[in-house]
Structures are given as C-alpha cells and as structure tokens.
C-alpha cells in the first residue's frame, strides 16, 4: 500500500525548490555582472579621503605652491600681457607669496631646498643690478629698480618651479593646462581679428596699438604663443596612441595657436616658429633612440594630426594678412634699416660704458643721446634684447648671461643623456622637457628682433619653461 504527500505539502515542496533554484540563478548572474558604480556621495567621499591624504602628506601644499607661479603666468597673459602696473602687480604678488610659503616650509624642515648651479649667475646678475641702483652706477636708478622688480619676479618663478616640480608627477597636469591656455588664447585672437575688432576683448582700445588676443601688440602676442605651441604639441603627441577622435581635441590647441600666429602676421613670430622647427628636428634626431623604434605609425599620429589641424585652420583664416605684412615690411616701423640703426646705437652705448653698462632698464632714457635717425617715434626698447642687455649691464652682465646659459645647457644635455641610458618609453616629463626647450629656442631667436623679454607675461613664461626643461625629478624614469 503506497502513501503520498498531501497536495498542499507537494505544492509547498515544489515552490521551495523553485525558489531555491531562482536564488541560485540570481547569485550566478549577479557574480557575472560588474560591480555597481558608486553613487555620487560615495564618489565625493572617496575624493575627500584622497584630498585629506594629500594634505596630510604635504603633497597638496607642494602642488598648490607650484601652481601659484603658473596661475600668475596665466593671469598676466590674459591681463593684457601684464604690461600695466595693476596687472603685473597682482601676478608678482602671487609669485612672491608663493616664495614666502616655500621659504616657511623649508625653514620648518618640511621641504628641502636644493641648490642648483644655474642659480649662481642669476644671483650674480641680480646683485649687479642692485649695485647699479644703489651705488650710483645707473643713469636712472628708479628705472633700474623697476627693471629689477620684473627680473626678480621671473627669477623667483624660475626658482619655485625648479624646486617644486617633480617630473611625471606634475608634467601631465601642466601640459594639459598649457594646452587649454593655448587653445583659449588662440581662439580669442582668431575671433577678434576675423570680426575686425580693434579692441582687446572687443572693448579696450589704445592709441598706437596693434592688438592680438589679450596683448596690446601682435608681436608680443606672437612671443607668448610661440612658447605655448610646443607644449601644446607635446600634449597632442602624448595621446598619439589613442583613436583620432581622442587625439583631435589635443591637436586643436597647437593648431589654433599656429593659425592665430599666421593671422597676427608677426615677422618675428614666423622667425621663432622656424627656429622651433629646426630645434624640434634636432632634438628628435638626438633622442629618437631613447624613445624606441616600435609603433612608428602611432608615434606619427600626434604630429600628423597637429599638422593637419593647423593646415586646415590656416586655410580657414587665410594668409592674406601675413603676405601683406611681409610685402609691406618697410611700412611697419621700425623697418629693417631702422632696426639696424637701433643696433648701432646700442653698440655705441655699450662702448661708452663697457664695464657695468648704463643700468638695467635705462636704455630708453639713454638712447636719445645716441640716436642715429629721427622719425617722430619714441623708442622704449632696442628691438634686440641681447644688445639692450649689453648696453645696460656691460661686460659684467654679459658674463653672467653666458655663465647661466652655459650651465643650463650642460644640465639639459645631461638630462638627454640620462634619458638615453634609461631606455624607457613615453614619460610625460620627457615630452614636457623637450617641448620647453623648443619653446626657449623660439624665444631666443625672436629676441634678436624684438623685446618680448620685457613683457612681464612673456618673461614669467620664459623663466617657467627654463625650469621645466631642467626640472628636478624623483626617479630616473621621469627623464623618459
């Protein structure tokens, strides 16, 4: 005689089995799915913990103090190049405040100051200018004091960046920041020129000005842009391994910069771009073994994309302004003949005081005595930074300058040698160092025919790039 479960018991057992199978299947599917994304609150909590860890370790303070001179440069660029007292006053205040914070941290033993040989000629030059202003060696002591303020701010920016910059830890963020700065400044200049605006930001107009972007003079704009373009190009090159749709935004920055320079029609700017192209080719030939021979197609992606974007943008904005500028070069003062006469006058000023010079920043006051032509214009600068430096500081200043460039070049060559020995690949610090060196080469070429190093924004940017090219690194792999 067989027994069977009641219908209610049978249904209950079947339902329990089905429920168990459903639970097991749900666990299996859940294990195969990716973990759920954290909510917004969890994300902010994670960021807060990371920020607290950075603050506790002192890394946050280092990054903030490093960002201060770089932020001052960005402010000065968009504040009319920093040529007005309020503009460079705010920028310099931020830089000197950062110097004070760094000094306090070093005094407390939190950070360690590192002496670098290139500081010696900079310090000697500053002491020379101080002696000119304080011991009657300057023709106009007040002008020397003002020039020393500008130079001192640049030197402080150089020291801060060279002390606080730590290679690939900071290089990616700095490169990205310069790329955005290049794109914004280039777009501003293109829009202003294409809309036939005679005022900076479509509002501020000045007599005898030829504005471009945020600068009162298009040659000063070109001086700034020629230093930004190589760094923006390095940003595009770093992303060469990605799809073209991801490379394109990075390639837009140098493309906009080149197109803006062509539209600004600066002859000195074109000379600087040519010098940068030569420097880039030379550095590529020197460092190609250190970056390996693989992935040649992807290695070219960044350069090809930058060139294509630049060509497209130049075609869009046109080259008519540049052609007219070159064709009518004699009509845009000072002409080539007048520049030659200005150089001769600077030489005469040097021969009159060959030892200590007339005093830093006094060229404009002394020049009328040695002028070789009169066209009704007032010349505040020699349109040749090298000869003006020679006339103002004599052999003593020239010796400091030669010593600085000799030591800087030795350090940079040593950096390239370490990169070759490391045999590593694709480090942001290496690309930033090469781009900074290329930018420095462009400004050194432009300095033969203009006075960009007397524009506060350009002076600060130049010193920052000098420091980034030879910046301190924590690890030998940061070289490459």
Which is higher by pLDDT, 291 or 185? 185
Question: How many C-alpha atoms does 454 have within 13 Å on its Cβ side?
Answer: 25
In this predicted structure, the answer to whether residue 420 has a pLDDT above a threshold of 90 is no
Neighbours of 419 (CB within 10 A): 25
* Residue 443 near residue 229, CB atoms below 8 Å: no
In this predicted structure, the answer to whether residue 30 has a pLDDT above a threshold of 80 is no
* Residue 335 near residue 329, CB atoms below 8 Å: yes
Q: Which helix (H) or strand (E) segment is 147 a member of?
A: helix 141-164
Q: What is the arithmetic mean of pLDDT over 217-240?
A: 92
Neighbours of 182 (CB within 10 A): 28
Domain of 453 in residue numbering reads as: 118-479
Q: What pLDDT does residue 316 have?
A: 57
Q: What pLDDT does residue 248 have?
A: 83
Q: What pLDDT does residue 220 have?
A: 95
* Residue 76 near residue 460, CB atoms below 8 Å: yes
Q: What is the arithmetic mean of pLDDT over 224-246?
A: 87
Closest CA to 59 of 131, 135, 164, 136: 164
Phi, psi of 328 (to 5 degrees): -110, 35
Q: Using CA atoms in the order 373, 375, 377, 380, what is the torsion angle rounded to 10 degrees?
A: -10
Q: What pLDDT does residue 48 have?
A: 62
Q: What pLDDT does residue 336 have?
A: 85
- For 281-304, how does the pLDDT look when each residue is reduced to its tens digit (9 = 90+)? 888 887 775 444 444 544 555 556
Letter string b/e over residues 21-39, b meaning 16 or more CB atoms within 10 A of that residue's CB: eeeeeeeeeeeeeeeeeee
Which is higher by pLDDT, 129 or 314? 129
Report residue 34's pLDDT band, with 50, 70 and 90 as the boundaries: low
Q: What pLDDT does residue 26 have?
A: 62
User: How much of the chain exceeds pLDDT 70, in percent?
Assistant: 75
3-class secondary-structure state, position 394: helix
Q: What pLDDT does residue 227 have?
A: 97
Write the Ramachandran bin of 213: left for phi over 0, alpha for psi from -120 to 50, otherwise beta. left
How would you write 24-81 as a 3-class SS string? Answer: HHHHHHHHHCCCCCCCHHHHHHHHHHHHHHHHHHCHHHHHHHHHHHHHHHHHHHHCHH
Q: How many helices (H) and strands (E) does the chain have?
A: 17, 0
Whether residue 18 lies inside any domain: the answer is: no
Residue with tokens 């429920």: 19
| Rounded CA separation 233/158 (Å) | 22
Q: What pLDDT does residue 209 have?
A: 73
Whether residue 59 lies inside any domain: the answer is: no
Q: What is the arithmetic mean of pLDDT over 12-17?
A: 62
Question: Angle CA(99)–CA(100)–CA(106) in degrees, nearest 5?
Answer: 90
Whether residue 92 lies inside any domain: the answer is: no
| Rounded CA separation 393/374 (Å) | 26
Q: What pLDDT does residue 167 have?
A: 82
In this predicted structure, the answer to whether residue 123 has a pLDDT above a threshold of 90 is yes
Whether residue 179 lies inside any domain: the answer is: yes
Whether residue 31 lies inside any domain: the answer is: no
Whether residue 56 lies inside any domain: the answer is: no
Q: What pLDDT does residue 478 have?
A: 46
Across 68-82, 180-194, 370-384, 464-478, which has the greatest mean pLDDT? 68-82
| Rounded CA separation 355/391 (Å) | 10
Q: What pLDDT does residue 1 have?
A: 46
For residue 215, list its beta bridge partners: 212
In this predicted structure, the answer to whether residue 156 has a pLDDT above a threshold of 90 is yes
447 alpha-carbon distance from chain centroid: 17
Closest CA to 478 of 205, 165, 193: 165
Q: What pLDDT does residue 477 have?
A: 44
Residue with tokens 């704009």: 221
| Rounded CA separation 371/377 (Å) | 12
| Rounded CA separation 33/29 (Å) | 6
Q: What is the arithmetic mean of pLDDT over 160-165?
A: 95
Read off the tokens for 441: 């080469």
What residues contact 238, with CB distance under 8 A and at least 6 apart? 172, 175, 250, 302, 426, 428, 431
Q: Using CA atoms in the order 268, 270, 271, 275, what is the torsion angle rounded to 10 degrees?
A: 140
Whether residue 106 lies inside any domain: the answer is: no
Q: What pLDDT does residue 290 have?
A: 45
Domain count across the chain: 1
What percent helix, strand, coil does the chain show, rounded to 5? 75, 0, 25
3-class secondary-structure state, position 349: helix
* Residue 179 near residue 249, CB atoms below 8 Å: no
Whether residue 347 lies inside any domain: the answer is: yes
Neighbours of 411 (CB within 10 A): 14
Q: Which helix (H) or strand (E) segment is 94 a member of?
A: helix 85-107
Q: For residue 342, give Cα distances in angstroms to 29, 352, 364, 393.
A: 81, 15, 11, 17
E strand spans, 131-179: none
Looking at every residue in the chain, the average pLDDT score rounds to: 83
In this predicted structure, the answer to whether residue 334 has a pLDDT above a threshold of 70 is yes
Q: What pLDDT does residue 47 have?
A: 57
Which is higher by pLDDT, 39 or 349? 349
């Amino acid at each position: 005689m067989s027994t069977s479960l009641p219908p209610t018991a049978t249904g209950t057992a079947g339902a329990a089995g089905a429920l168990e199978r459903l639970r097991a299947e749900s666990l299996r599917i859940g294990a195969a799915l990716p973990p759920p994304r954290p909510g917004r609150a969890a994300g902010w909590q994670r960021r807060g913990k990371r920020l607290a860890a950075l603050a506790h370790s002192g890394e946050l303070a280092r990054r903030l103090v490093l960002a201060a001179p770089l932020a001052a440069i960005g402010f000065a660029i968009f504040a009319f190049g920093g040529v007005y007292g309020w503009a460079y006053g705010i920028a310099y205040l931020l830089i000197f405040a950062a110097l004070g914070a760094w000094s306090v941290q070093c005094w407390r033993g939190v950070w360690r100051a590192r002496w670098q040989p290139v500081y010696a000629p900079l310090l000697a030059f500053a002491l020379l200018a101080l002696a000119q202003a304080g011991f009657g060696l300057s023709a106009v002591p007040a002008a020397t004091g003002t020039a020393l303020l500008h130079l001192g701010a640049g030197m402080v920016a150089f020291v801060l960046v060279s002390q606080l910059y730590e290679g690939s830890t900071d290089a990616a963020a700095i490169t990205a920041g310069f790329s955005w700065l290049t794109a914004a400044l280039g777009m501003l200049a293109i829009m202003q020129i294409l809309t036939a605006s005679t005022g900076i930001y479509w509002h501020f107009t000045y007599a005898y000005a030829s504005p471009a972007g945020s600068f009162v003079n298009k040659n000063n704009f070109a001086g700034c842009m020629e230093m930004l373009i190589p760094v923006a190009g390095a940003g595009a090159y770093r992303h060469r391994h990605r799809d073209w749709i991801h490379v394109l935004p990075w390639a837009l920055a140098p493309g906009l910069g080149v197109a803006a320079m062509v539209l600004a029609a600066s002859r000195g700017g074109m000379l600087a771009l040519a010098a940068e192209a030569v420097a880039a080719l030379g550095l590529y030939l020197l460092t190609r073994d250190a970056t390996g021979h693989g992935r040649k197609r992807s290695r070219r992606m960044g350069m090809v994309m930058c060139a294509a974007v630049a060509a497209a943008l130049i075609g869009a904005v046109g080259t008519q302004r540049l052609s007219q500028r070159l064709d009518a070069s004699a009509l845009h003062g000072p002409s080539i003949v007048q520049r030659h006469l200005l150089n001769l006058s600077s030489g005469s000023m040097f021969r009159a005081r060959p030892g200590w010079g007339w005093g830093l920043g006094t060229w404009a006051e002394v020049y009328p005595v040695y002028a070789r032509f009169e066209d009704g214009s007032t010349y505040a600068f020699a349109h040749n930074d090298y000869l003006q430096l020679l006339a103002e500081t004599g052999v003593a200043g020239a010796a400091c300058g030669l010593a600085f460039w000799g030591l800087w070049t030795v350090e940079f060559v040593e950096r390239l040698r370490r990169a070759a020995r490391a045999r590593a690949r694709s480090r942001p610090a290496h690309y930033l160092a090469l781009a900074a060196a290329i930018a420095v080469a462009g400004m050194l070429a432009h300095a033969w025919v203009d006075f960009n190093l007397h524009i506060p924004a350009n002076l600060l940017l130049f010193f920052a790039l000098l420091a980034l090219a030879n910046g301190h690194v924590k690890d030998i792999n940061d070289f490459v």
